[in-house]
Amino acid sequence: MKRRSGLRKCADFVTFPVRALSVIERDRFGLTSLADERYDYVSREVRGECLDVGCGRHNRFINEYRGGRGRGIDVYRHEGLTEGHVVSDISHFPFDDCSFETVTFIANLNHVPRSLRDVELREAHRVLVSGGKIVVTMGNPLAEVLTHKVTAMHDRFFGTRYELDLERGMHPEEEYYCTDAEIRERLTRAGFRDLKKKFFATQWCLNHLISGRKPAG
């Protein structure tokens, strides 16, 4: 399981503006990519078998940060995924009740169509064990919009493929971000309690996570 050292975190804090504009998917030149940084923060919240919803290319969080302990699912067959990762009907996850100890939505709840967000979060609640945990990451709205725009421009000018939204296309009900108020409201409506917010200090608190628990019993 990957973990950043204290020294690396200090370097990441100082170099955040450079890293934010460098458009790198993986650690490079001694810099931590924003994606890997998110995975590191989330991995510290996860316990036991994890379901990573919207896992993206290569199912990286489960494979690299959970040592394969869990499952990654997505609605699109990104590079490195198999048919076993693809879930066509997000209104019903293909897992039994109480199958996982943690469910993660890493920088992607905003990409769930608005009309399906409550349904998908209820499914996350269903597949969690009693007392299980959900973790949702989301950036500052302005930072999210700028990041998407900069990445899309980089892809168009340099022929890269960093922006997944361009690769699979955006649904009319997708957005570049969700507000904290919406996330909290939807998590509460899905049955989660004990909601907590934690900022990503090395991203100058422009990114954060909100976690919640499925009540025991």
Higher pLDDT, 195 or 18: 195
Say how far apart CA 182 and CA 186 lie, in whole Å. 6
- The pLDDT tens digits of the residues spanning 23-54 come to 667 887 788 999 999 999 999 999 999 999 99
Within-domain flag for 24: yes
Q: What is the mean pLDDT of residues 118-123?
A: 98
Return the pLDDT at 3: 82
Q: Tokens 């009740």 belong to which residue?
A: 97
Say how far apart CA 170 and CA 178 lie, in whole Å. 15
On the question of pLDDT at 166 being above 60, the answer is no
The DSSP result for 48-102, as a single string, is SSEEEET--GGGHIIIIISTT-EEEEBSS--TT--GGGB-S-TTS-SS-TT-EEE
On the question of pLDDT at 124 being above 70, the answer is yes
∠ CA 125-130-135, rounded to 5°: 50
Within-domain flag for 54: yes
Return the pLDDT at 80: 96
Partners of residue 70 on adjacent β-strands: 50
pLDDT band at 208 (very low <50, low <70, confident <90, very high): very high
Return the pLDDT at 191: 98
Within-domain flag for 95: yes
On the question of pLDDT at 156 being above 80, the answer is no
Higher pLDDT, 131 or 5: 131
Within-domain flag for 44: yes
Number of domains into which the chain is organized = 1
pTM here is: 0.90
For residue 128 the two structure tokens come to 């969690």
Within-domain flag for 1: no
Return the pLDDT at 15: 93
Within-domain flag for 174: yes
On the question of pLDDT at 207 being above 80, the answer is yes
Return the pLDDT at 139: 93
The CB density around residue 76, as the number of other CB atoms within 10 Å, is: 15
Within-domain flag for 193: yes
Task: Indicate which CATH number applies to the domain containing 208.
Answer: 3.40.50.150
Q: Which domain holds residue 142?
A: 6-213
The amino acid that residue 194 corresponds to is: D
Say how far apart CA 79 and CA 165 lie, in whole Å. 14
3-state helix, strand, coil in the chain (%, to 5): 40, 20, 35
Return the pLDDT at 154: 59
